[in-house]
Structure 1
Amino acid sequence: MEGLKAEGMESQNQPPQSEDQEKGTSFLKTCFNGINALSGVGILSLPYALSQGGWLSLILLLLVAILCWYTGLLLQRCMYANPAIKSYPDIGEVAFGYKGRAMISIFMYLELYLVAVEFLILEGDNLDKLFPHTAIKIAGLKVAGKKGFVLLTALVILPTTWLKSMGVLAYFSAGGVLASVIVVACVFWVGAVDGVGFHEGDMLLNLGGLPTATSLFAFCYCGHAVFPTLCNSMKDRSQFSKVLLICFISSTINYGSMGILGYLMYGQDLKSQVTLNLPIRKISTKIAIYTTLINPLTKYAVIITPIATAIEAKFSFGKRGSTISILIRTAIVISTVCVACTVPFFGYVMAFIGAFLSVSGSMILPCLCYLKINKTARSFGLELIIIVGILVTGSFIGVLGTYISLKQIVNHL
């Protein structure tokens, strides 16, 4: 606490360098890690988001990308202000003390937990499409359909969650960027070669669907939790602003391509995941779905590890051996299975995550922390106007999007 509170103010334009950074991550590897952090299951819902908001909602996709890129830069400036900052919760602690750390940690861990739930829902939906009317027997119990596949997926994933080494887990998480590109390529192939065509998608604007669309867009840019870690790991931290620009441009091109292709192919008939619309007998569809299925399998353990580590650290379980660690991770997996089976609505849950958690963690909290840490930013000027604009926009998206997504979830229970 004292280390974080100590005043170590440095120039915002020239971050302090340490001996550890001489051995840090290269520019190219950091770019790859950043793109991988932004490229996730959200890409599957981009066509659905477009079908909700219409063609003009693409402007909102670009706006959300720009706002989240800018707040990523604000987090970088917060790190430059105090060399003791190593993570996003550290920024919250420097800005608002213990309450700030607790608030950011809660948003981070809840978001990670619900993303893990989304992984299980995605697996259940897509496996049910590949193998419809399938029943699975587990411990003598017969479970049919999506719930059966959710349970099966959890059993497959469970052993990977017992690994505590992030170095080992890195092997499981590799390939996320490639997987996203493959899925987009397969969707294009279905439309261009397999006969679906690009003749749908004629709605210009749907005001009623804009909150849902914007919430889904916000979910796609929720990588802020790892940005401070990526920045701190670089050999040259001053290059991180360029990393952010490359990551956001690359991700936006990928997201935009998927949204446009899917909406042109299926229009208003789009389901929450574009893979559920694809013709099942085509080889391109199978490649897209299998690639989609592999991605969550490789990332689930990475997603829940910070949650498990935080629980172990809080109650000092880490010193008692691996048995309790395994039990904690197993309990987390079981709880996500229960939530996934109770609320199996991929699109609505993703919209809730985007509106409530992603908007808070990626737009509102970075601005508040930056204003608190940097006193000069509170002086009236262009920077303050931009930050206040982001706070107002984020609050509006968050309140309206959270209300609508929760209403949709409750109505479908």
Structure 2
Amino acid sequence: MATGEWMTVGVFGEEISKGKSISIIESTKDLESLDDEEKDVDTNKSSFLHAVINMVGMLIGLGQLSTPYALENGGWASAFMLVGLGAACAYTSHLLGKCLQKSPKSRDYKDIGHHAFGTNGRIIAITFIYLEIFMALVSYTISLHDNLATVFLGVDLNSSWAHLTTSQFLAVIAVLVALPSLWLRNLSSISFLSVAGILMSFLIFIMVACTGIFGGVSASHDIPVLKIRNVPAISGLYIFSFAGHIVFPNIYTAMKDPSKFTKVSIVSFSLVTTLYTSLAFMGAKLFGPQVSSQITLSMPQTHILTKIALWATVLTPMTKYALEFTPFAIQLEQNLPHAMKSRTRTIVRGTIGSILLLIILVLALCVPYFEHVLSLTGSLVSVGICIVFPCAFYTKIFWRQIGRPLLILNLILITFGVVMGAFGTVSSSKSLLRSLQRAHTS
């Protein structure tokens, strides 16, 4: 990740958001002027409303597809966990803002980790950040594959020469179409992809709602009260839905009035939690035990609403690759020799990005189990980034000032996060291994 001054280029020409649905690009300067080390960037241009839009847009993404599946498999009482995690993540977002206020030199998540625990804190933060991005991209590619298979259901492409099924072949084509976006150096072009991703996410929600109203599907299914055995696995799905803390420091530093960051967090998480809970109950009531891990795959296949939702889901991952790769690209270009020509830099970063994306494609095709990979990502990585680390960072930084009630609350959240992450990781790993074994034997 880049160091020094940071720039956020916006959804409306001011910031780009980075994450599952909207990406905030972390950069010391535009990639086109990376060699100009003296260029200063004014980042404090984001209003309260703009900050809320960025945070809400960043949080809404891949996780929304799985909330109905999680609620159906966990029972309606698990909605309290969903709401509770939303509240906890809003609180830890507030803690990150306090850490940044305490240390004005800190500009991003890894800087906070460094301020709290030195070099080890920075290394751990960077490791988890890149691991979450990588695993999220694998989940996006699995979603792309699954929804393409439904969009082109009944289509038979002769891809036996490549030893691929039709759905796998379509996924390969889609990734190859998205591949050139990794070669973009103009942040304005990448900003367009960010806006497209936001619109696709909202379109999916609207289409699911319209299916219940106009699609001929009756919301008549009963939701079980609680399936305690499934709670560890679905906890990973729930926490992934709120994973976005790696970019919250950038929203904070881009605000005109950072003192309002806590209000931004409260408003944003309230809106997103309401949307997730509504979608979860709506999907579970509409499709019951047959609800898919991706709500779009449960919708009536012949209905026009479904086709719109499916295409929106297909296009969403294709808008994410360049956005998610940008932090790697920035770090990579800054590590290249300064004497290297601009064209050579572009070739190096584009080539490495293409190789990484192809590796992600292969992994996604080998492990096509969306809910298990998403749950594993949430339990193994996201719970640390969203709950454990912010509480630990804040406690360490404010150790001499923190009151007993707040200390107890932070320790409870750290313990809860570690326990939830451990049980969720074990549960989702076992489910993933069982699915792989069944696929191998069949």
**Scaled by the length of structure 2, what TM-score is found?**
0.85
Distance in 1 of aligned mates of 2:372 and 2:79: 19
Distance in 1 of aligned mates of 2:357 and 2:338: 18
Q: What's the counterpart of residue 432 of structure 2?
A: 409
Inter-CA distance 22–219: structure 2 relative to 1 (3 Å threshold):
closer
Match for residue 344 of structure 1 among 344, 365, 368: 368
Q: What's the counterpart of residue 170 of structure 2?
A: 149
Query: Is 2:407 the partner of 1:391?
Result: no
Give the drift of 1:142: 5.6
Distance in 2 of aligned mates of 1:218 and 1:22: 30
Deviation larger for 191-200 or 276-285: 191-200
Instruction: Indicate the SS of the match to 2:271.
Output: helix
Distance in 2 of aligned mates of 1:315 and 1:36: 33
Give the drift of 1:166: 2.9
Inter-CA distance 201–326: structure 2 relative to 1 (3 Å threshold):
same
Listed as ranges, the gaps of 5+ residues in structure 1 are: 5-18
Deviation larger for 127-136 or 313-322: 313-322
Give the drift of 1:339: 1.0
Q: What's the counterpart of residue 285 of structure 2?
A: 264
Q: Which amino acid is the alignment partner of residue 121 of structure 2?
A: G
Match for residue 328 of structure 1 among 352, 373, 378: 352
Inter-CA distance 317–164: structure 2 relative to 1 (3 Å threshold):
farther
Whether the 8 Å CA contact 1:52–1:212 is kept in 2: the answer is: no
% same residue: 31
Q: What's the counterpart of residue 400 of structure 1?
A: 423
Query: Is 2:383 the partner of 1:362?
Result: no
Give the drift of 1:240: 1.2
Query: Is 2:181 the partner of 1:191?
Result: no
Distance in 1 of aligned mates of 2:329 and 2:108: 17
Distance in 2 of aligned mates of 1:212 and 1:288: 26
Give the drift of 1:133: 4.4
Listed as ranges, the gaps of 5+ residues in structure 2 are: 5-39, 437-442
Give the drift of 1:20: 6.5
Aligned runs of 1:106-117 on 2, under 5 Å? 106-117=127-138
Q: What's the counterpart of residue 65 of structure 2?
A: 44
CA deviations on 1:232-286 (whole Å, 9 max, x unpaired) are 0111111111111121011111111110110001111111101111111111111
Distance in 1 of aligned mates of 2:159 and 2:258: 50
Distance in 1 of aligned mates of 2:326 and 2:71: 33
Deviation larger for 303-312 or 37-46: 303-312
Whether the 8 Å CA contact 2:46–2:254 is kept in 1: the answer is: yes
Deviation larger for 84-93 or 188-197: 188-197
Whether the 8 Å CA contact 1:48–1:271 is kept in 2: the answer is: yes
Give the drift of 1:137: 6.2
**Scaled by the length of structure 1, what TM-score is found?**
0.91
What number of residue pairs does the alignment pair up?
Answer: 396
Distance in 1 of aligned mates of 2:240 and 2:338: 32
Instruction: Indicate the SS of the match to 1:71.
Output: helix
Give the drift of 1:315: 5.8
Instruction: Indicate the SS of the match to 2:66.
Output: helix
Give the drift of 1:317: 8.5
Whether the 8 Å CA contact 1:200–1:263 is kept in 2: the answer is: yes
